[in-house]
């Protein structure tokens, strides 16, 4: 505001000087070109340099990986393992429980047109190939056994699995056809064995790389712990597990 006043004052002085220069008798004299108005050039106000604000570095927060929910009616993730055949490499498993009927859908890395079983390299009666779920039906670690097939975990009272043990001579076929009559619910015995309890079903969808097992499991609830596994025995025993404990 001060500068504006100053500018007006200067303008007034200039104007009065001009008028005095004219004189009264020179009213119709040469036209006086008024000096250009002094333009008020405001002094540039220094722009304050913004004070550097201290932005605290985000503190690394430790976020623990949540434990998978290994109960019915969920989906759990596996990890890719290119060292085992694609058809036993579990990428994820989705389950549903309808009454006592448990349905387990294994999404695997790859399902070939055909596989070979009862391989000549195996001794008769040897466990060869399986997709399954060991179930702690009563959620009591003191009842039941480790997973019979892979000797892993504890407290499993039942197992739903598609399973082959070496019989006869080597043959090939689709997983669907080979395991159609080899899918069942097995129950743990007191001597750490298992016995077949009820038949189950298998559905193989090659287009989605999904192997779905289904069966009625006595005593199962929505809280029963599920431990998924696959294995293949040739010269080595190859295993994949999800929700092992």
In the region spanning residues 5 to 34, those forming contacts with Ca ion, defined by CB under 5 A, are none
**Structure token pair of residue 87:** 């058809």
172 binds Ca ion (CB under 5 A): no
153 binds Ca ion (CB under 5 A): no
Minimum distance, C-beta of residue 102 to Ca ion, in the bound complex (Å): 15
In the region spanning residues 74 to 133, those forming contacts with Ca ion, defined by CB under 5 A, are none
Cα distance between residue 175 and residue 8, in whole Å: 99
143 binds Ca ion (CB under 5 A): yes
Cα distance between residue 176 and residue 162, in whole Å: 10
Cα distance between residue 16 and residue 42, in whole Å: 24
Minimum distance, C-beta of residue 165 to Ca ion, in the bound complex (Å): 24
Minimum distance, C-beta of residue 151 to Ca ion, in the bound complex (Å): 16
Q: Is 192 left (phi over 0), alpha (psi -120 to 50) or beta?
A: left
Looking at the Cβ atoms of 149 and 204, the one nearer to Ca ion is: 149
71 binds Ca ion (CB under 5 A): no
Cα distance between residue 67 and residue 32, in whole Å: 93
**Structure token pair of residue 210:** 């999904």
Q: Note whether 88 and 112 are within 8 A (CB).
A: no
Selected from 155, 164, 215, 232, the binder of Ca ion by CB under 5 A is 155
Minimum distance, C-beta of residue 169 to Ca ion, in the bound complex (Å): 38
Selected from 89, 136, 240, 241, the binder of Ca ion by CB under 5 A is 136
Looking at the Cβ atoms of 128 and 157, the one nearer to Ca ion is: 157
* CA quadruple 175, 181, 183, 187: dihedral sign: negative
How many chain residues touch Ca ion (CB under 5 A)? 7
Minimum distance, C-beta of residue 155 to Ca ion, in the bound complex (Å): 4
Selected from 72, 78, 144, 215, the binder of Ca ion by CB under 5 A is 144
Looking at the Cβ atoms of 16 and 221, the one nearer to Ca ion is: 221
Minimum distance, C-beta of residue 225 to Ca ion, in the bound complex (Å): 8
Chain residues that interact with Ca ion, rule: CB under 5 A: 136, 138, 140, 143-144, 155, 157
């Amino acid at each position: 505001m001060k500068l504006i006043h100053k500018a007006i004052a200067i303008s007034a002085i200039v104007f009065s000087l001009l008028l005095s220069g004219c004189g009264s008798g020179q009213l119709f004299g040469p036209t006086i070109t008024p000096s250009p108005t002094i333009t008020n050039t405001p002094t540039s106000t220094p722009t304050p340099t913004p004070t550097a604000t201290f932005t605290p570095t985000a503190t690394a927060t430790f976020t623990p990986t949540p434990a998978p929910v290994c109960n019915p009616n969920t989906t759990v993730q596996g990890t890719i393992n290119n060292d085992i055949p694609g058809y036993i490499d579990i990428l994820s498993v989705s389950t549903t429980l309808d009454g006592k009927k448990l349905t387990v859908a294994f999404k695997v890395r790859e399902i070939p047109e055909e596989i070979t079983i009862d391989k000549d390299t195996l001794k008769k009666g040897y466990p060869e190939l399986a997709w399954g779920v060991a179930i702690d039906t009563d959620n009591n670690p003191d009842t039941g056994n480790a997973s019979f097939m892979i000797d892993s975990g504890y407290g499993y009272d039942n197992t739903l699995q598609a399973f082959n043990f070496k019989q006869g001579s080597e043959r090939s076929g689709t997983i669907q056809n080979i395991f159609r009559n080899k899918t069942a619910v097995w129950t743990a015995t007191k001597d750490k064995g298992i016995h077949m309890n009820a038949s189950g079903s298998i559905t193989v969808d090659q287009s989605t790389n999904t192997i779905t097992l289904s069966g009625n499991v006595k005593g199962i609830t929505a809280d029963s712990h599920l431990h998924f596994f696959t294995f293949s025995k040739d010269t080595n025993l190859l295993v994949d597990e999800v929700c092992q404990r």
